Chains A and B, each alone.
Chain A
Amino acid sequence: MSRTFAVVTDSTADLPDQWRDRYGIEVVPLKVLFGKETFRDGVDMNNDEFFRRLAASSSLPTTSAPSPGEFAEVYRRLAQDHDGCISIHIGAQLSATAEAARVGASSVEGFAVNVIDSQSVSMPVAFLCRIAAECESLDVATEAVRDRVPKTRVLALLDTLRYLEMGGRLSRAQAMIGTMLDLKPLLLVANAEIKPVDRVRTRSRAISRMVDYFKNDLPVEHVGVVHAQAPDEAEQIAVALRKDLPGREVTVGQIGCVLGTHTGPKALGLVYLKN
C-alpha cells in the first residue's frame, strides 16, 4: 500500500467489512452496556447477538464512547508505521466519541492526527473513510473529507421512537409526533442536527416517503441502505434504487450495536453523500 497515513473511524460508522479489509481502515469500538456487562461494539458482540439480547432484556442497554486513552493507544500503534492519521467520527451532537479522539490525540506527541467530526452517523461516515483512503496524502484526504461533511445525509425510519427517546437524543415533541398515536417518524440527520421530515402511520408509506425524499435530493456521490434486523426491506429499497440509478453502487449494511441501542430493531436508513 502506497498510502502512508492511517484512516481511523469508530464502530458507529457501520463500515462494511469488505471496505475495512480493502482499505485497511482502523475501527475503534464504542461500548454497549447491559447492566454491569460491557461489550465492545462489533468485537465482543455482533449485531445479531445484540438484537437478540435487546429483545430479551427487560431494561434498555446504555452506550458509551471509547475513552481518550483507548484512542491514544490506537494512535500510538499506528504511529509506528504511518506518518499521520485521519480519524473520522460520529457527529459530536450525538456522541462524545470525537471529543475523546481529540483528547486522546493530544496525548500522542509527534504524530499528526486530524480528527473530523462528521456531523453524521452510520454509513455516511464510512463513505468519508473510503474517500479519505483513496487520497494520496493526509492533507488532501483531510480537505476532501471536510468538504463533504456538510453533504452527509441520513434518512432514518424508526419503527418506534422509544429507543431514541430513552437515550435522550430526541423527544417526541422534537420529532413532531404526539404521545397518543403510534406514528412513524421519518428523521433526517444533516448539518449536525436531527430533524423530522415527515410522519406517517404505516411502515410501507414511510418507506415510500423516504425514497421520494431521497429522489428529490439527487444527485449523490455515494448511497447506501442500512438496517437493523430488516434485511429484506433494505434489499428491496436497494434494488429499487439500483433500477433508478443505473450503474450506481448501492451498498446494503447493518446498523451496529451502539447505534442500534438508539434506533431499536427494524430501523431503516437511506444514507448518502450529496454531490
Chain B
Amino acid sequence: MAVKVSGVDGQVFKRALLGSLTWLAGNHEEVNRLNVFPVPDGDTGTNMLLTLQSAVEDVKESNAAEVSKIAKLASHGSLMGARGNSGVILSQIFRGFARAVEGKSSLTPTELAAAFEEAANAAYRAVNKPTEGTILTVAREAGRAAATAASGPDATVPSVIAAAAAGARAAVLKTPSQLQILRDAGVVDAGGFGLQLILEGMLKTFEESDPSFAALADVKKPAAIPAAQVALDLPEGGWGYCTEFLIEGTNLDTELIRGQIESLGNSVLVVGEPELVKVHVHTDDPTSVINLAGGFGKLLKLNVGDMSTQHRRILESEGGAGDGVPRPNGVGLAAVVAGRGLVDIFRGLGVDAIIQGGQTMNPSTQDMLTAIESVPYEEVFLLPNNGNVVAAAKQVPGLTSKKVHVIETHSVPQGVSAVVAFRPERPANENLRAMKAEAERVQTIEVTHAVRDTRSNGVKVKKGDVIGLINDRLEFAGGDYSEVVKQALGKLGPDSYELVTVYRGEQASDDEMKKLESEIRSEYPGLEVEVQHGGQHHYPFILSVE
C-alpha cells in the first residue's frame, strides 16, 4: 500500500531523508567495494554514509512543517559532517537543494524536480574541474529525469522521485563508458552509486507503508558489479607513467602546450605563467612527452613514475623495490645468490638478474654473462657475493659490449649492504663508490660445519665441528651454533654495532633458530636482531653485523 502524498513538506522530506539513510546504511559496503584506485584510500560508501548521517542528525529532532527548514538543517549538517570527495560533493548537493527550496513550505512535483536540478548544478559549481562519469553526472541525470517526469500530466511526488532514482540508476550504469578507469576495473562509479542509493531510499518511504525503516536494510541488496581491488587486471600497456616537470622559458603558452601534450596522454594538467609552466600527464610514452616539452624551454624537476608499479603491489604482495620504473641513471644490477629467501631479498631490493650459485656451486663466467645480457640496461653492476666467485666475475667485463663493473662483494651481507646503498637517480660512479664503502662497513659472520680435521688461523677443528668465520677467516670452533656466534660477536665488539641480521640457512632447525636468537638477545641486549629466511645451503647461519 503506497503512502498518499500531494506535496513535499518538511515532515515528508525528513521521512525521505531517513529512508535514504537507512537504505545507504544497509548497502554502503557495496559502495566501498567499488573502489577502483589501486592504492588503499578512504572508502566512498563509508564517507557518504557518515556525511548523510550528519545531515540527518540535525533533521531528526526537528518537527518543522516547512520543507525549507528541513532542507536547510540537512545542508548545514552535511556540510559539517562532509568526509572525502564524495561526501563534500554530497554536501554541495544538499546545499543546492536547500537554496532552491528557500522560503517554501511544501513542494509540488515540478518544484521538487527543479530542486533536484538545482542541487546538481550547485554540485557542478563547487568542483574545480568537473569530471563526467562521476557522482556529478549521476546527479545531473537524476535531475533531468525528474524534470521530464514532472512535465507529464499525471506527475506525482513519488513518480518524480521514482524517475530521479531511475535516471540515477541509468546514469550509474553508463559511468564505465565515460571513465576509462571504471571500464578497466569493470565497475561503476562508487559516488554515483551512493547517490543512486540515496534516491532509492527516498523512494522506498513512499512505496512502503511500514515506516519501520530498519526493515528496509534487509531488502535484497542491489546488484552492484563486484570489484575487489585484488581482482583488477593490469590493462595492456599498464597504467602508464605519471610524468611531471616544469618548463622554464619565455612567452610560454599554456594553451598551446596543453593542446600538444593532450595528444600524448590523459589527466593532463598544464598550469603556470609565461616564464614557468607546470606539466602533469599520465602517458604510456614519457620520452615523447619530454622531447615535445623540451622544445618549449628548459625542463626542471622532471619526475616519471610508473603507476602500474603501485598497482602491481596489490596483485603481488611480494612486490620488489621500484621494479618497473626505468632507472634515471641507466644502471642495471646482477647478483650471484643461492637460497630461495636470499633470492627474494635481492629481488626485493631491486636486483634485475639473479645468477644461481654460491659456495659450492660456483657459477660460470658464461652464466654471469648470460644474466647480464638479460638486464635491460647497457651499464650493469655485478655482485659475486662470494669469495670463490669473484675471479670468474672479473672475467665478465671483457666479454660483453655492455659496460660491466664488478663490485667485489665476498659475502651475502656485503652484497645486501651494497645493494641497499644503490640509488637509481645517482650517477653510476657515485653509486659504485657508495656501494663499495657500504660493503666494507659491514661485518660478516658465517657459521658452518668443518668438512675435515684441520688447523687454521691457530684454531684446531675436527670434522663435523661447528665453525665460525669472521670476514672469511676461521676464528672459532665449537659444538654449538649459539656458542660460536656469541664468541664471534664478542670478538667483533658488540658495542660498536647496532644491528645483527641473521640469514637462516636450510639446515638450521626452528629450535636452533630460536635458541640462537634468544641467546644473542640476552647476551647482547644493546643489539637489534632481525631474522630473515635465507634458505642457503651449507651455512646454517650467516650473520650481518653493522
Q: Which residues does A use to contact B, with CB under 8 Å?
A: 62, 64-65, 67-70, 72, 96, 99-100, 103-104, 106-107, 166-168, 171-174, 176-183, 191, 193, 195, 198-204
Contacts and interface: CB of A to CB of B under 8 A. Distances in A.
Nearest to A204: B498
Contact of B345 (A176, A178, A193): A178
A172 B313 contact: yes
A68 B320 CA distance: 40
Contact of A168 (B40, B92, B320, B323): B40
Contact of A201 (B319, B424, B499): B499
A168 B41 contact: yes
A54 to B, nearest CB: 19
Interface in B138-187: none
Nearest to B497: A202
B492 to A, nearest CB: 15
Contacts of B530: 181-182
A180 B533 CA distance: 9
B81 interface: yes
Interface of B: 39-42, 54, 76, 79-85, 88, 91-92, 95, 126, 301, 303, 305, 309-310, 312-313, 317-323, 341, 344-345, 347-350, 416-417, 420, 423-424, 498-499, 501, 528, 530, 532, 546
B76, B81, B348 interface centre (most CB from chain A within 10 Å): B348
Given A70-B80, A72-B79, A99-B88, A202 B499 contact: yes
A96 B87 CA distance: 11
A168 B532 CA distance: 26
Contacts of B501: 181, 201
Nearest to B351: A178
A69 B74 CA distance: 12
Contacts of A104: 79
Given A171-B39, A193-B303, A201 B345 contact: no
Contact of A181 (B322, B416, B528): B416
Contacts of B499: 201-202
Contacts of B349: 178, 180-181
B90 to A, nearest CB: 12
Nearest to B533: A180
A99 B86 CA distance: 13
Given A64-B83, A103-B82, A180-B348, 7 more contacts: A67-B80, A67-B91, A171-B39, A171-B310, A173-B312, A180-B344, A183-B420
Given A177-B321, A179-B317, A181-B501, A69 B79 contact: yes
Contact of B320 (A67, A173, A191): A173
B1 to A, nearest CB: 37
15 contacts: A67-B80, A67-B81, A68-B88, A69-B81, A70-B80, A104-B79, A107-B79, A167-B40, A172-B319, A173-B313, A174-B309, A178-B350, A180-B532, A181-B349, A202-B498
Given A171-B39, A176-B321, A69 B76 contact: yes
A179 B79 contact: no
A41 to B, nearest CB: 15
B82 A176 contact: no
A61 B423 CA distance: 33
A168 B92 CA distance: 26
Contacts of A68: 79, 82, 88, 91
A264 to B, nearest CB: 16
| Nearest 8 A/B pairs, CB to CB | A178-B348, A69-B80, A69-B79, A168-B40, A178-B321, A180-B348, A180-B345, A202-B498
B193 to A, nearest CB: 21
Contacts of A182: 530
Contacts of A195: 303
A176 B424 contact: yes
Contacts of A199: 420
Contacts of B301: 191
Given A96-B88, A191-B301, A179 B498 contact: no
Contacts of B42: 62
Contacts of A179: 317-319, 348
A168 B39 contact: yes
A181 B82 contact: no
A104 B88 CA distance: 10
A89 B181 CA distance: 30
Given A67-B79, A103-B88, A181-B349, A174 B420 contact: no
Contacts of A183: 420
Contacts of B126: 103, 106
A178 B105 CA distance: 62
B313 A171 contact: yes
A174 to B, nearest CB: 7
Contacts of A103: 82, 88, 92, 126
A220 to B, nearest CB: 19
Contact of A173 (B83, B321, B423): B321
A176 B324 CA distance: 12
Contacts of A167: 40
Contacts of A69: 76, 79-82, 91
Contacts of A204: 498
Contacts of B309: 173-174
A173 B420 contact: no
B323 A173 contact: yes
Given A107-B79, A181-B345, A181-B349, A173 B498 contact: no
Contact of A172 (B83, B321, B416): B321
A69, A178, A199 interface centre (most CB from chain B within 10 Å): A178
A174 B303 contact: no
Contacts of A176: 321-322, 350, 424
Contacts of A65: 83
A272 B546 CA distance: 30
A166 B40 contact: yes
B320 A178 contact: yes
Contacts of A96: 84-85, 88
A145 to B, nearest CB: 18
A190 B252 CA distance: 24
Contact of A174 (B40, B76, B84, B310): B310
A64 B321 CA distance: 30
Nearest to B306: A173
Nearest to B314: A171
B15 to A, nearest CB: 24
A180 B534 CA distance: 11
Contacts of B348: 178-181
A202 B88 contact: no
A190 to B, nearest CB: 9
A167, A173, A176 interface centre (most CB from chain B within 10 Å): A173
A100 B51 CA distance: 13
A92 to B, nearest CB: 11
B319 A100 contact: no
Nearest to A175: B321
Nearest to B348: A178
A204 to B, nearest CB: 6
Nearest to A104: B79
A62 B43 CA distance: 11
Contact of A198 (B83, B84, B92, B423): B423
A183 B81 CA distance: 39
A181 B501 CA distance: 9
Contacts of B84: 96
Nearest to B341: A180
